[in-house]
Structure 1
């Protein structure tokens, strides 16, 4: 029997508590239906007997207090909500317990921006991690020693797991079901819960808004120029000259401030503009390509798929509700 401890954190997202509880309880039933013994002892664990969430809209009753759990096998850290500084402060008491249990062999899984509490334990230092794409900049600023993987649905390293944004955590739940049981049970769970199995990227859902939470005025000026002139041909040399900074120094400062090279930033701004076109217009692929400053079809396709995980036509067919005519594939 595997002990699964779902932490009832202050300011936790209720779904990120209920869903892992639901799926592992359901897997126990699947196993019983097939003549096997249930595998998971699933418990809601907290600091108090009850925790009020989402402005007291929900009250979650814990089954075990933290100090009553001597040893567990798998810990779930649910997604947090609201002000992150406050959320981390309210849940500090969990940190030594998580570290102690991991040292005793427990695996730890964070769901969505539960990664912020996981990173606060120090267990992620020097390791890879996923979180919601919209929180990536904040995460990097708080935890520079953690290797945040952009766009990843799941990361795993030495018994520590993390998942990407929002419903991406279902992919991690299925992954852990397969790890602890078998492939057939994971497929059954994916069908039962109507969740795609083996999805590995949240890139198609990411909206690029630029990383401007820094104090480098020259880099910020260059970013604004790129975003206002994405339809033009923009060179690194021209950008460096426009802010009166040497090219090598400009490239170094730009990367340090934004976590992107200049070329990566230009590409991401152009592709974000292309995505908006595909979502809201009936332009064909070539028209959109030219409108964001690309003239080479192959180059546009390659960069678009690298950033979004989809080809241009796949993206348009997925996110544009209007009828799609014959397009360049």
Structure 2
């Protein structure tokens, strides 16, 4: 198996990073990889690679200092910024990591943070218009420092596709289970939670996988459009505008977009909107019609049809199953 075939989760050991979170996530991920291999034909099991990244004095970028596949090349699928112990990271401390994180994200790596790790993530400038979370006690400090981001400290996990953030210090358990669910599936995630005697992430525990777009396809023009669609909630998905943003002729753009993502632009936008709708239905008090408007549908009937096609449940059924206390809203 080559490095390109593996799912690599990289944990970043920036100054002050909480080692308990790094080591705990490592244990969860290693167990998840073993369970996945045990449950299926080993040759077909999704392979998981775990690495730790650290910046050494005099070096331009962090490098792997721990690696479960040290003989393989390749870039990480995900880079996670753990909580920081002590004072919040300052811009000068964050500066050596910013270019590396931005470059990694630009080539398809998902970026994630836990608790105060969000402050290092904020320094990348990638959070403008994005919904993120951190520990509620740091909400005001984060908003003052990064006013362009959409802080929602009431939520434990915000999975925005290519950027995923978690709230408190111990939310690393929720985030790592979320990643296991995304890359190895619900069954593996639940078994890891059972063996470690921890509760699965409540809101994310469903029978339906969250939308995990392909980001490591290597087509920079298409990746640029994907990041824009994610940041805007895909509310504006006009073909001409998307092609212009990619700098491509429309027919060329459509062909390359489907080749890179496996979806048409319409299907891709629908999945982003439905993913956001699921979050609103689970955690909010909006009616289905209000949710439809919030995610960009002017016709609630059309929204219901798309939602049922993708999720397998109507909005009413979905809320009843995952937010049973508010069935009257629908």
Q: Which residue of 2 aligns with 1:29?
A: 34
| 1:173 pairs with one of 165, 176, 182 | 176
Q: Which residue of 1 aligns with 2:75?
A: 71
Deviation at 1:9, TM superposition (A): 0.8
- Relative to the length of structure 1, the TM-score reads 0.53
Deviation of 1:20 after TM superposition, in Å, equals: 1.7
Q: Where does residue 133 of structure 1 map in the other structure?
A: 136
Q: Cα 1:46–1:69, aligned 2, differ >3 Å: closer, same or farther?
A: farther
Normalising by structure 2, report the TM-score: 0.53
Question: Larger Cα Rg: Structure 1 or Structure 2?
Answer: 1
Q: Whole-Å Cα distance in 2 between the matches of residues 144 and 91 of structure 1?
A: 18
Distance 2:169 2:105 in 1: 25
In structure 2, the partner of 1:89 is 92
Tell me which residue corresponds to 1:40: 48
Give, in whole Å, the separation in 1 of the partners of 2:39 and 2:184: 13
Q: Does 1:12 align with 2:17?
A: yes
SS at match of 2:191: helix
Q: Which runs of 5+ in 1 are unaligned?
A: 50-60, 202-308, 312-329
Please tell me the root mean square deviation across aligned C-alpha atoms, in Å: 2.5
Q: Is the 8 A contact 1:153 1:169 kept in 2?
A: no
Match of 2:84 in 1: 80
**Counterpart Cα distance in 2 of 1:22 and 1:48:** 24
Cα distance, 1:90 vs. partner?
A: 2.4
TM-superposed CA distance for 1:70, in Å, is 5.6
Q: Which residue of 2 aligns with 1:236?
A: none
Q: In the comparison of the two structures, how many residue pairs are matched?
A: 188
1:183 to 186, 189, 203: 186
Matched, 1:164 2:164: no
Moved over 3 A (4+): 35-38
Over 3 Å counting, the alpha-carbon distance change for 1:38 and 1:179 in structure 2 is closer
Classify 1:85/1:166 alpha carbon distance in 2 versus 1 (closer, same or farther; 3 Å): closer
Structure 2 CA distance, aligned partners of 1:114 and 1:69?
26
| Deviation (angstroms), 1:198 | 2.8
Q: Please give the secondary structure, in 1, of the residue aligned with 2:51.
A: strand
Per-residue Cα deviation, 1:186-210 (whole angstroms, up to 9, x for no partner): 1101111222113349xxxxxxxxx
CA shift for structure 1 position 110: 0.5
Tell me the SS of whatever aligns to 1:161.
Answer: strand
For 1:55, the equivalent position in structure 2 comes to none
Judge conservation of contact 1:130–1:154 (CA < 8 Å) in 2.
yes
**Preserved contact between residue 127 and residue 146 of structure 1 (Cα < 8 Å):** yes
Unpaired runs of at least 5, structure 2: 1-5, 58-63, 205-322, 326-330
In the aligned structure 2, how far is the partner of 1:135 from the partner of 1:29?
37
State whether residues 4 and 43 of structure 1, in contact with CA within 8 Å, keep that contact through their aligned partners in structure 2.
yes
Instruction: Please state how far the C-alpha of 1:15 moved relative to its aligned partner.
Output: 1.5
Instruction: Please say if residues 8 and 46 of structure 1, whose CA atoms lie closer than 8 Å, have aligned partners that are also in contact.
Output: yes
Q: Is the 8 A contact 1:4 1:73 kept in 2?
A: yes
Distance 1:25 1:118, change over 3 A: same
CA deviation profile, 1:109-168 (whole Å, cap 9, x unmatched): 111110110111011111000101111111111111110112101012241000011212
* Higher relative contact order, structure no. (Cα contacts within 8 Å, ≥ 6 residues apart): 2
Q: Give me the whole-angstrom Cα distance separating, in 1, the residues matched to 2:203 and 2:146.
A: 23
